[in-house]
Structure 1
Amino acid sequence: MIEIKNASIVKKANIYFDGKVTSRTVFLQDGTKKTLGIMMPGEYEFATDLKEEMEISFGKLEYKLAGGEWETINGSGIFYVPANESFQLKVHTVVDYCCSYLSE
């Protein structure tokens, strides 16, 4: 997805890990929630409430889902995180991402 149309953006940033990961929340007209953000190099762990689609549009990182192996995205790619799970990230370069929260 290159462009998001007809959306509302929450002005206040979501700031994690002392500012090394930041995002802005976007709501589409149909109620869909997304976050658009940047991750600086480092190692992070996140937990989910809903299933998430992590779309990486730029950068290099490794990710590991619960019980899985380390996978690499270099440039762009997508991975999915199940609801109520945690995942780990090793971010090697600045990463630009869009997280979509999925109902199923």
Structure 2
Amino acid sequence: MSMLHQVSVAKLANVYFNGKVVSRSVVLADGSKQTFGVVMPGEYEFSTAQGEIMQVISGEFDVLLPGQTEWVAYPTGSQFQLAPNVSFSIRTEQISEYCCQYI
């Protein structure tokens, strides 16, 4: 199991889509921020305020990236990068987990 050390975790969860997507914000020792979340089966659209690297920790996401017309599968262990101020969609058929690193 991968562990993060010397972090601060927000007490309140970030809850989206009536609880079908839930994440926790974590601040690392160097001041950088990440969120760790769980996504229930379904399809969801998100927007970014800043650049992000999304890593699939467990499960699998199909992702419709900005400006694309084809969904791309991202299995456990894979990642994709997003620019600031874009919208993208995620769908999954299983409970899946992610880590979002802000860049």
Q: Quick check: TM above 0.5?
A: yes
What stretches of structure 1 of length at least 5 have no aligned partner?
Answer: none
Secondary structure of residue in 2 paired with 1:96:
strand
- Runs of at least 4 residues of structure 1 off by over 2 A? none
Give 1 or 2: higher strand fraction.
1
Match of 1:3 in 2: 3
Q: Tell me if structure 2 keeps the 8 A contact 1:46–1:86.
A: yes
1:59–1:76 contact (8 Å) kept in structure 2: no
Alignment correspondent of 1:17:
17
TM-fit CA distance, 1:74: 2.6
Structure 2 residues without counterparts, runs of 5 or longer: none
Amino acid in the other structure paired with 1:74: P
Query: CA offsets, 1:2-38, max 9 Å, x none?
Result: 2211110001000000000000000012110000110
Cα deviation, residue 54, structure 1: 0.4
Aligned partner of 2:52 in structure 1 is 52
1:79 aligns to 2:57 (yes or no):
no
- Separation in 1, partners of 2:76, 2:55: 11
One-letter amino acid of the structure 1 residue matched with residue 81 of structure 2: Y
How many residues align structurally? 102
- Give me the CA root mean square deviation: 1.3
CA apart distance, 1:76: 2.7
| 2:4 aligned counterpart, secondary structure | coil
- Aligned with 2:18: secondary structure? helix
Distance 1:46 1:12 in 2: 20
Q: Secondary structure at the match of 1:63?
A: strand
